[in-house]
Structure 1
Amino acid sequence: MTAVGTDETADAAATALRAAVIFNPTKSGVAELRAAVARAESRQHFAPSLWIETTEDDPGKGMAKAALRQGVDLVIAAGGDGTVRSVAAGLRGSGVPLGLVPLGTGNLFARNLGIPVNDQGDAVVLAFSGMDRAVDMLIAEVTRPDGRPESHVSLVMSGIGIDATMIANTNPDLKKRLGWLAYVDAGLRAIPASKPFRVVHRTDAGRLHRSRVSSILVANLGYLPGNIELIPDAEIDDGKLDVVVLQPRNLLGWLLVWRRVTWENRVLRKSALGRQFMDLTGGSRRREILYSRGRAVDIEIEAAPEEFEIDGDEFGTVVAARFRVDPASLIVRVPR
């Protein structure tokens, strides 16, 4: 009887689902993470998880591919937006779900999906037992100043111009202390010194636009921390990307942009009366911020290279970029 029981236990272990936890060892809370994962494994009848540390050379993509080769049923990314993005790149097209345990500063992807960003235990529970949702990914094919091509994935939004400069100039010590508020400090320093630049851009097979811009962003999602709704109609699973062109002419223009993303987009446009008020005050005719949507966008910078960012991380400078959507290429665990 003992031998039979042992065999049954072994068979159960062999058929149990198994997760891989890919985590950034530089983040705090790893011990608590291990305990929360162990509890979730027990409740959901998972085998003990495979634990993989990210490295400076591989922040997650190679680790995710290695986990897939071991046949895991779930991959959990525990870290900031950089870790999540890299792990997602490794899972792209695999069909294996991605669970998110935010341990970073911005946590833009998690915030947009309703993942708890301040409760690690709840995030772990959601990673093991949430609903699977197929979402789009953005593919950024950029050209460096020396002509070298590179390809990256984006989950939230990428930008060329002042937003990338702001991120590059964010004080790392302030970021550790204040979190995303450190970007506000960087923005207040970047805007007065910013200089518009000329770009040629085209969405899908539409006509070419030559614009003088402060920034051009390509997005999959539209919410930023601080009650900022940059792109109110952005959807993560509509098979399209959203393009935002910022072209304020002066400080007043920047104030109008700020009003648009913090008040008009988030409050006024949600009611018929609010939309009527926007029309009466010229909201639909202003040109400080312009939106378009499509499956791909091509951008060419006409002068010096500009700073480039992906999902809140700096990525150096570029002279051209092509963004395209990869529909439903990632499965993410989200609240039911």
Structure 2
Amino acid sequence: MGARANDRVTDAAAERPRAAVIFNPTKRGVNELRVAVERAEDVQGFAPSLWIETAADDPGKGMALEALEAGVDLVIAAGGDGTVRSVAATLRGSGVRLGIVPLGTGNLFARNLGIPVNDPFDAVVLALSGVDRAVDVLVAEATRPDGSDETHVSLVMSGVGIDATMISTTNAELKRRVGWLAYVDAGLRAIPVSKPFRVVHRLDGGHAHRSRVASVLIANLGYLPGNLELIPDAELDDGHLDVVRLQPRNLLGWLLIWRKVAWENRVLAKSALGRQLIDLTGGNRRREVVYSRGRSVELTIEGEAQEFEIDGEVFGVVTAVRFSVDPAALIVRVAR
């Protein structure tokens, strides 16, 4: 009788779903994360999770492959946007669901999905019990000055130009203390010394267009920290990527860009009266911020190679980048 009871317990445990938790051991809150996962497992009927640490030379790709080989039902990425992006690169197209527990600075992907960024337990419960949402993944093929090519994925936003310079010069200690506000400090230092460059861009294999820009951003979503709305119409699951060209001519141009993302897009564009005010003040005719949308875009930089970033992580300099969208390639756990 005792043996049969033990067999039933073992069978029941084997039938429970199991998650793998991929975590960055350098992030604060790891001990709290373990407690939160154990509590949520009991509540949601999950078997004990498989715990896998990221490494300095691998923020998640290899760990996600280990999780897939273990046959887990869910992979939880616990870390910042870099950890989430690396895990997603492996899970892309696999059909295995991704849960997110934000432990980073910006946590832009999590914020845009409505995932709690200040409560690890709530984020873990959401990962175990939320609903599935299929979202797009952007694929970036970058060309280096030596002619070599690299392929990366992006979930949030990538950029060539001043945004990458800003990220590369962000003070690490300040970022640790004040979070995403450290980027504001870096931006204020980068703008006065920034130099515009010329880029040729081709959307969906169409005609080539040449622009003089401070930055070109390729986005999967539109919201930024600080209540900023860079791209009002961007959606994570629309099967398209959004391209933003920043073209300020002077300091006034940068102030107009700030007005656009902090006031016009966020507030005025939400109402008919606000949209009329934008039109009356020339907002629809200005060219400091230019939007376009498609399924792919090719960027070729004329002159000196420019710095390149993906989801807030610097990736060196490039001479060309081609982006394409992989629609509904990643399944993420979100709120019901």
Task: Give the TM interval when normalised to the shorter protein.
Answer: over 0.9
- Contact kept, 8 Å, 2:245 with 2:291, in 1: the verdict is yes
Is 1:320 aligned to residue 323 of structure 2? Answer: no
Equivalent position of 1:187 in the other structure? 187
1:206 offset after TM fit, Å?
Answer: 2.2
Ranges of 4+ aligned residues in structure 1 off by more than 4 Å: none
Is 1:4 aligned to residue 4 of structure 2? Answer: yes
Is 1:95 aligned to residue 89 of structure 2? Answer: no
Distance 2:106 2:313 in 1: 10
Aligned runs of 1:246-265 on 2, under 5 Å? 246-265=246-265
Distance 1:153 1:114 in 2: 21
Distance 1:87 1:205 in 2: 30
Equivalent position of 2:245 in the other structure? 245
* Equivalent residue letter for 2:304: A
* Equivalent residue letter for 1:25: P
Equivalent position of 1:158 in the other structure? 158
Equivalent position of 1:39 in the other structure? 39
Equivalent position of 1:293 in the other structure? 293
Q: Name the SS of the counterpart of 1:333 in structure 2.
A: strand
Equivalent position of 1:333 in the other structure? 333
Q: Name the SS of the counterpart of 2:123 in structure 1.
A: helix
Distance 2:55 2:216 in 1: 31
Distance 1:169 1:30 in 2: 27
* Equivalent residue letter for 2:329: S
1:253 offset after TM fit, Å?
Answer: 0.5
Distance 1:62 1:272 in 2: 50
Give the TM-score normalised by structure 1. 0.99
Distance 1:30 1:312 in 2: 22
The share of aligned pairs that are identical, in percent, is 76
Task: Encode CA deviations 1:47-87: one digit per residue, 9 max, x unaligned.
Answer: 10000000012110111011011100000000111101000
1:4 offset after TM fit, Å?
Answer: 1.1
Equivalent position of 1:170 in the other structure? 170
Q: Name the SS of the counterpart of 1:304 in structure 2.
A: coil
Task: Encode CA deviations 1:3-36: one digit per residue, 9 max, x unaligned.
Answer: 1111111111111100000000001111111111
Distance 1:119 1:316 in 2: 34
Distance 2:175 2:57 in 1: 23
Task: Encode CA deviations 1:211-239: one digit per residue, 9 max, x unaligned.
Answer: 00000000000000001100000000000
* Equivalent residue letter for 2:246: L
Task: Encode CA deviations 1:129-150: one digit per residue, 9 max, x unaligned.
Answer: 1111000000000001111100
1:205 offset after TM fit, Å?
Answer: 2.5
Q: Which runs of 5+ in 2 are unaligned?
A: none
* Equivalent residue letter for 2:21: V
Q: Name the SS of the counterpart of 1:87 in structure 2.
A: helix
Q: Name the SS of the counterpart of 1:151 in structure 2.
A: strand
Q: Which runs of 5+ in 1 are unaligned?
A: none
- Contact kept, 8 Å, 2:19 with 2:74, in 1: the verdict is yes
Task: Encode CA deviations 1:278-312: one digit per residue, 9 max, x unaligned.
Answer: 11111110000000000000000001010000111
Aligned runs of 1:68-147 on 2, under 5 Å? 68-147=68-147
Task: Tell me the number of residue pairs that the alignment of Structure 1 and Structure 2 aligns.
Answer: 336
Distance 1:29 1:192 in 2: 37
Quote the RMSD (CA, aligned, Å): 0.6
Is 1:278 aligned to residue 260 of structure 2? Answer: no
- Contact kept, 8 Å, 2:40 with 2:121, in 1: the verdict is no
Distance 2:332 2:73 in 1: 12
1:332 offset after TM fit, Å?
Answer: 0.4
1:90 offset after TM fit, Å?
Answer: 1.0
Q: Name the SS of the counterpart of 2:59 in structure 1.
A: coil
Aligned runs of 1:19-34 on 2, under 5 Å? 19-34=19-34
Give the TM-score normalised by structure 2. 0.99
